[in-house]
Amino acid sequence: MNAKPVDALRLDVAQLAAEGAELAGQWPLSELTRLADMHMAGDGPAAEVQWQVQGELRPVTGGAAEVWLHLQAQVELDLCCQRCLGPVHETVTIAKPLRFVSDEAQAAALDAEMEDDVLALERTLDLRELVEDELLLALPLVPRHAECPVPLPMPADDAVADEMANPFAALAQLKTRGSGQT
């Protein structure tokens, strides 16, 4: 791009695409607050989000060129294992092309038709917010260890196990008690 520094928080996507320019950088995870809320902070070094974007104008026969942004990002997080509730280390990575169109209505119509993501072209784009949104969407739905490092608690005896296996047994007992008191 030109000699002046580019502000990733106020990115001119159209200019980036017109120049075919590339940007890269990193942000401390603490600056992406919604994503940081998912991270179980430990004693290790502070997590950082690595990102890279490249703009592209794709020529279209008989029309204006399409504005595209190729987005890549990666972060290493410790998420809460849904089995043992301990930290499970995950590397969350995204690599996707994003097409930009003139307005929200066109973006919604094309997004339903295309596999690629389609966004409305704004004067400026907060790249950090876009990266955070995409990383949140890429998180595993149910983070868990392949094998938990700590054994999971088991029921103390078979009676408890039977009760847990059939939760309706307690309801049946209540029903029989209730019918005997009339």
- Rg (Cα) of the chain, in Å, rounded? 25
pLDDT of residue 150: 81
The answer to whether the CB of 118 falls within 8 A of the CB of 107 is yes
Residue 143's nearest CA partner among 75, 95, 79, 97 is 79
Q: Sketch the domain layout of the chain as residue ranges.
A: 8-151, 152-182
Positions of the chain with pLDDT under 70: 1-4, 42-45, 154-165, 178-182
In terms of Cβ atoms closer than 10 Å to its own Cβ (0-12, 13-18, 19+), residue 157 is exposed
Taking the model in full, what pTM does it have? 0.76
